[in-house]
Amino acid sequence: MNDSSSSSNSSTSRCEYTGAFMLLRLFLGLRTLLAGLEKFEANKSFSFSNYTENMVRMATGISNYSLIPLWAAKLFALSLGFLLVIVGAAILLGIKSRASLFIGGLVYVGLSFGLMAVQEGDGVAWLGMHILMFSVALVLSRHDRFALWADKND
């Protein structure tokens, strides 16, 4: 009787882990995708020219108030929106979830570094929570059951 009970508990916990991973994947995918799309917006209009203007403004602000040179800030900023959109979509769709989550986490580490450089403590803490969620999602990624292009199981 104990064997069937432990088997049932094992199955239940696997479902719970799968559900927890799915919730994190949905949240992080949507959050990352929308963070990328918002970089293209100005005055309720989305365009590449808005994107360039927004990102150059962001890079200039970071560079002006930190030790980060303008060329490095621009390099990161001008690729940021595209990277966020691609990684966000990949996370949402379950395309190589582990790699997508790891890259997404690295992007948020990069964003955190920029805010650390300008001593924006509240933003760093907020981004730190995202990094924590990416880390938990990576740990739970072995329970990914609904993926468009799944990782190979170990």
Q: How high is the pLDDT of residue 27?
A: 98
Cα angle 33-127-87, degrees, rounded to a multiple of 5? 25
Q: How high is the pLDDT of residue 9?
A: 67
Q: How high is the pLDDT of residue 13?
A: 77
Q: What is the pLDDT along the chain (154 residues), one digit of tens a residue?
A: 455 555 556 666 789 999 999 999 999 999 999 999 999 999 999 999 999 999 999 999 999 999 999 999 999 999 999 999 999 999 999 999 999 999 999 999 999 999 999 999 999 999 999 999 999 999 999 999 889 999 886 5
Q: Which residues contact 110 (CB under 8 A, 6 or more apart)?
A: 76
Amino acid at 42: A
CA distance 36 to 82: 7
